Structure 1
Amino acid sequence: MARRTAQTAQEVLLADFQTLVADTEKLLEHTASLAGEQADQLRDQIHESLLRARETLKLTEDSLRQRGEAAVQATEDYVQSNPWQSVGIAAGVGFLIGLLASRR
């Protein structure tokens, strides 16, 4: 279950970033009607930034997935090999959260 949650969070983050890039590209296309040399320079700069953002997204996507999967796997391995310690840690964290929530 933790693995699904981590993957879902990563997928949502990546989808949001890809949507942002796509929306910015649409904005760039709509500004094509603007005239002037400064507008052309601005569009070129935005376009270059978008290309760099896409490249960065592609490069970091695999890295984030691998690190997330490794963290989830390590946690699952620890819980399976130390179930009672895991229950104790979870109970302690739950108790602390309960204390903090009751103060508000």
Structure 2
Amino acid sequence: MNTQNGLKENMEDMMDDASTLLNHTDDMTDDSMVQARKQLAEAMEQVRNAYEVVQKKAVEGAKATDKAIRNNPYAAIGIAAGVGVLIGYLISRRK
């Protein structure tokens, strides 16, 4: 399972659990419970919106990166090699 699918599944599970909680407390009329349910519903909507925005930006970033690599393959190889050398150097200094 890759990270994106795992994150999506975790997010869906969390939203399902919160929805189940809201449904199970539907008959409770205590003012504090009503307020808590309202806050949970608002938080769920904010999380859902934030997740959609993050997912959209991630896809846009991946597409832009893919386009840049395809337009400049040698520069991308050079940058990747440079980053690899730098990481190797930093790791070798730690020992």
Q: TM-score, normalised by structure 2?
A: 0.66
Normalized per residue, the structure richer in helix is 1
What's the counterpart of residue 45 of structure 1? 39
Q: Does 1:91 align with 2:85?
A: yes
> How many pairs were matched up?
93
Distance 1:25 1:72, change over 3 A: same
* Counterpart-to-counterpart distance in 1, 2:80 and 2:54: 31
Higher relative contact order (CA 8 A, sep 6+): 1
Q: Does 1:32 align with 2:26?
A: yes
Identical aligned residues as a percent: 19
Q: Secondary structure at the match of 1:32?
A: coil
Q: CA deviation at 1:21?
A: 1.7
What's the counterpart of residue 64 of structure 1? 58
Structure 1 unaligned segments of length 5 or more: list them.
Answer: 1-7
Q: TM-score, normalised by structure 1?
A: 0.62
Distance 1:54 1:97, change over 3 A: same
Structure 1 residue ranges (4+ consecutive) displaced by more than 4 angstroms after TM superposition: 75-78
Q: What RMSD, in angstroms, separates the aligned Cα atoms of the two structures?
A: 2.8
CA offsets, 1:52-84, max 9 Å, x none?
A: 322332233222211133235535665x31445
Structure 2 unaligned segments of length 5 or more: list them.
Answer: none
